[in-house]
Each structure stands twice: as C-alpha cells, then as structure tokens.
A = this chain, B = another copy of it.
Amino acid sequence: MERITAQYYIETPLDLEKAANILAGEQSSGTFIALPGETAELKQRFAARVESIVKMDSAHVPAIPSDKLVGGNYQRAMIEVSWSIENFGHNLPVMISTLQGNLYELTQFTGLKLMDITFPSSFANAFAGPKFGISGCRELTQVYDRPLIGTIIKPSIGMDPDQTAALVTELAHAGIDFIKDDELLGASANSPFDKRVDAIMKVINAHADRTGKKVMYAFNISAEIDQMQRNYEKIVNSGGTAAMVSLNSVGLSATKKIADLGALAIHGHRNGWGMLNRHPLLGIEFTAYQKIWRLCGVDQIHVNGIQNKFWESDDSVVSSIKACLTPLLGGYPILPVVSSGQWGGQAPETYRRTKTVDLLYMAGGGIMAHPNGPAGGVKALNQAWEAAVAGLTVEEAAIQYPEFGQSVKIFGK
C-alpha cells in the first residue's frame, strides 16, 4: 500500500526513538491509555511508522521555551514518519491535520518543523495541479528565455481605480510583463474590486490590441469563497489572465476551489509566512509548503529575494527557488516569484546561485523610483538579467548598461 512520508526536524529532551514513536502514535492511533479497539490488525494497517532517525547536534537550552519539561540536554534530529494512503486518501486538509496537527503541541518536543513531504504516485492522478505553471505563464505574457519582469502597485493601498489605471498605462508602455495588487488591497473604500478591474483591464486590453502584448495583472481576489468566485468571474469576463490569492489568509480548501476553475493563472501570495517559518525549529519549511500549494493548483508562489529587506537569508531564498523548480511527481510546475527590495542589482547573484531565468522577478520602488521613470526601471531590470546571464558583475553591468547604471547609483548603496 502506498505511503506518504513526512520529514521533521525535531528537538527533544527524551530518547530520540521514544520521542519519534510518541509522535507517530499521537498522529495515528494513540490516546493516553491503551484501548480495547486498538487491535494488532488495525495498528498494522493504520499506525504511522517511524522510518528513520538521524541524530544531529544538541543544545542546553530548549529551542522553544517550555514550562513543563526541564531537562539538561535537548537533542536534535531529522526524522521521517510515514502514513498509509489508507488513512486519509487524497484529502489535503486531513493530510495536513495528520502531518501538521496536534504534534506541535506535544510536550515531548521542544522544537518541531515539517521539512518535506514525499507523496506517492497516485497523488498525480488525484490532483490536476497548476493549470498554467511556468510555460503557461510565459505563453500568457509572451516572455521567453528571460524572467518575467513584474511590479506591485504602490502605495499598497489608497489609490482609486483611475489613478491605478494611469499607473498601469505607464507601466504597460514601459514594457512591464506583470503587475499585481498589493496583498493589503482587496477592495478599499475608494477602489471597489469591479471598478478597479474595469479601469485596469480597459488599459491592458487597449495596450494588447495595439501591441499584441497583454500585461498579466494579478488582481487580489482574496475574500470569502462566494466573493472570490465573483471576483474571479469578473476578471475572466474582462479579459484578465491572473488572480492573486493570499494563501494563508484564504486557506487551502477555498484556494484549491479557485485554482481548479482553471481559467486564470493563480498568483500565490504567502503573506503570513514568517509566522509559519521564521523560527528555525517551529512550523513548516518552504520545501514542504510549496508542494502542498502545487498540488492545490497554484501557478506562481512567492519566495522572497536575494538581499531582501526581510529577515530571510539568501541561502533560504535560493533553496526555495530550487524547491519550486524541482519537479513534483514528475511535474506540477510552479513559477517562483522573487520580490522584496529587488531593483536588479540582485540579478547577477540570483542567477549565479540558481542558474535559472524561470522566475517572476518583481521590483516595486526599484521600477517606480528609477530616474527615467518606470520605463527606465523596466529597462534596467531587463538589462540586469541580460548581464546576469552573461556572467557580468553588477559593476561591469553598470558600465555597459546606462539605465541599470542609474539604478546602481540610486539603489546600490
């Protein structure tokens, strides 16, 4: 019978094997007293199984403060636990409750992070996955052999539809491939969703009619499910090509429903991610996280960026990009969205470390605040990537490309 395997980074004051078995018991057939119904046959079929334990370093202070367990030595380890597909089938929410449920509550662990999940092959039949993925997003934007260049409408919130459409016009003329609403904007008092779509799509459609290039605009549809479906339909009926969903805020079941509609590329925003990942020994690692959203059918997912303005290290960003580009069950392609403090100067290092141009590369201020305006900003970003692929350093590129050179003067401090 097929099994699903989860890898956890754990810390425990107990014997490692004992702790791992407590986790497996809690997340399959356990309670605090042995029960009559818990037959050997039932256990054989449904009990979670500890597959491996790899001992790592230890600490004298627990990773997460604990009132209940005071011990001398907190041992860390990487463990693998597996469940039969018979436990939850292809039900993602129940899978999550099994792999990420009460186990975080166990006193026996002073740290626990879900690092990775391995799905059996039947998952490939059960989940349609991203309807567009990397190649579909390229076709929609007609961008090949380089990253899609994108930007976020800023200020995040406060502009009315006409102001936003004016900015979109400027950006479209500047040659941008992708624009998105900020996650803070769903429908503000002065920017109702439908009016925003009308104003922006009018501009984008006109630009497409004129140039043959349709800018992909990811409207933030995040809301209750019925409203999200109405928002989605509005975009489809207006000729749009993408919708943005705040994955953690909307949640899994509603996001999957939206992604399964299949008419728009789904831009997955991971805001709230710091809560789930910022502690090294609590939560979920991006490798596991992005797999779940790929199964759900998300086409694009945020990975932060090299030298970002947030807490995340470059190593972590690189690892996230690689995770997105690694086939899942032979496919489920998802486009990594690079953003946060990006202005082009990070392109050479991003390319050096990932060797890919399969990215949606987003800059906010880096485009809007360019001395030549957005046109200069977009040009500078494309130059940065041309230089990056050619192996130039930032300094070399700044000499060769005037617009990028201007960016370096302003942002490269």
Contacts and interface: CB of A to CB of B under 8 A. Distances in A.
Interface residues of A, number: 103
Contacts of A278: 64, 104-105, 282
A254 B258 CA distance: 11
B42 A155 contact: yes
Given A28-B184, A100-B248, A275-B284, 12 more contacts: A33-B369, A35-B369, A42-B158, A91-B223, A94-B183, A97-B272, A98-B184, A100-B249, A101-B272, A105-B278, A105-B340, A224-B256
A147 to B, nearest CB: 20
A8 to B, nearest CB: 12
Contacts of A189: 84-87, 89
Interface string A78-106: 00000011111101111011101111111
Contacts of A92: 224, 249
A97 B222 contact: yes
Nearest to A46: B158
A159 B93 CA distance: 20
Nearest to A252: B251
Contacts of A310: 102, 105-107
A251 B255 contact: yes
Interface in A300-319: 304, 309-313
Interface string A138-181: 00000000000000101111110001000100000000000000
A2 to B, nearest CB: 11
A253 interface: yes
A188 to B, nearest CB: 6
A250 interface: yes
A146 to B, nearest CB: 24
Contacts of A42: 155, 158-159
13 contacts: A31-B154, A37-B163, A67-B313, A68-B311, A86-B190, A87-B157, A93-B186, A93-B249, A94-B184, A101-B249, A225-B225, A226-B257, A249-B252
Given A222-B97, A257-B224, A105 B313 contact: no
Given A31-B365, A86-B190, A250-B251, A46 B157 contact: yes
Contact of A246 (B84, B97, B188, B340): B97
A29 interface: yes
Contacts of A35: 154-155, 365, 368-369
Interface of A: 27-33, 35-38, 42-43, 45-46, 64-68, 84-89, 91-94, 96-98, 100-107, 152, 154-159, 163, 167, 183-190, 220, 222-228, 246, 248-257, 269, 271-276, 278-280, 282-284, 304, 309-313, 340-341, 364-365, 368-369, 411
A327 to B, nearest CB: 24
Contacts of A101: 183-184, 246, 249, 271-272
Contacts of A223: 91, 93-94, 253
B88 A188 contact: yes
A107 B46 contact: no
B309 A96 contact: no
A11 to B, nearest CB: 12
B249 A94 contact: yes
